[in-house]
Amino acid sequence: MTLTLAEVTRLLDRRYPPRTAESWDRVGLVAGDPAQPVRRVLFAVDPVAAVVDEALDWGADLIVTHHPLLLRGVHAVAATDYKGALLHRLIRGGCALYAAHTNADSATGGVADQLAGLLGLTTTRPLVPAPAQALDKHVVFVPVEQAGALVDALAAAGAGAIGEYR
């Protein structure tokens, strides 16, 4: 079964959620038709000319890179400049481009975890912890015999003991 670019993108977004990327980062689908079939994927660190050459020569339908091609504001995609020329070649060659950068770095089992594992590190923590999720506290009175069922239902909904919230 051949997946579409939209389906592959959805899988990548699930594994490396874009919402976990740093605010300055540009992740996700850069170029490509979501309806196109994806049979061959090339993975690379940087979207440079040699990678595009290899992908097109190999017949890749998608390049997934760690670093984004378009990190700063884009004012033009002219084929006369380096990045514009790469995009034009990819589009003409029917090859999509997707970037997973800081979202892949911070994902559980992602780049940082893999590198830590290769180095034999067993106790790790983020250099900069992710901001805490906004929480809301509710006080509920329930008959004692129903307390267990309520706790189970609340836990299933994502509630629980977090820091000072118990």
Tokens describing residue 113:
């975890």
Between CA 155 and CA 157 the distance in angstroms is 5
Q: How many CA atoms lie within 13 A of 76 on its CB side?
A: 6
Please tell me whether 67 is known to bind a ligand. Answer: yes
| Cα gap 97→29, rounded to integer Å | 6
CA 129 to chain centre: 18
User: Where do the DSSP E strands lie in 75-156?
Assistant: 96-99
Residues at the binding site for a divalent metal cation are 66-67, 105
Residues at the binding site are 66-67, 105
